[in-house]
């Protein structure tokens, strides 16, 4: 669980409290501020969950790209070595 999820939950709860206080005190601007804060909390919490799920996938895909890059380098070297061996054996391509 990252910081965004915790901060989002906190904003959501404090927004609910502010919204309820605005309803009880008949203070419409406070109620609206509470709704906005609650919405921001939900968005931030959702962003945190998405980030938690996407970071391992990004790391895995980055590692996979490095492995493929290394393999393609090895294959190119092997093809070059095979070409040199072919030239050494038969004189030309």
Q: Could you read off the pLDDT of 63-93 as tens digits, one per residue?
A: 777 777 777 777 777 777 777 777 677 765 5
In contact, 35 and 16? CB cutoff 8 Å: no
Stated pTM of the model: 0.55
| Domain region containing 86 | 3-90
The total of other beta-carbon atoms located within 10 Å of residue 80's CB is 10
Cα distance between residue 28 and residue 35, in whole Å: 11
Residues 46 and 53 sit within 8 Å (Cβ to Cβ):
no
How much is the CA Rg of the chain, to the nearest whole Å?
A: 29
Encode pLDDT of 11-64 as tens digits.
889 999 998 998 899 888 888 888 888 888 888 888 888 877 777 777 777 777
Overall domain count for the chain = 1
């Amino acid at each position: 669980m990252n910081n965004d999820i915790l901060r989002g939950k906190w904003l959501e709860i404090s927004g609910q409290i502010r919204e309820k206080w605005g309803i009880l005190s008949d203070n419409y601007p406070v109620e609206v501020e509470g709704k906005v804060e609650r919405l921001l909390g939900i968005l931030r919490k959702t962003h945190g969950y998405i980030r938690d799920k996407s970071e391992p996938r990004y790391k895995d895909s980055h590692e996979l790209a490095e492995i493929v890059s290394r393999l393609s380098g090895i294959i190119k070297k092997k093809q070059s070595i095979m070409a040199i061996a072919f030239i050494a054996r038969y004189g030309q391509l």
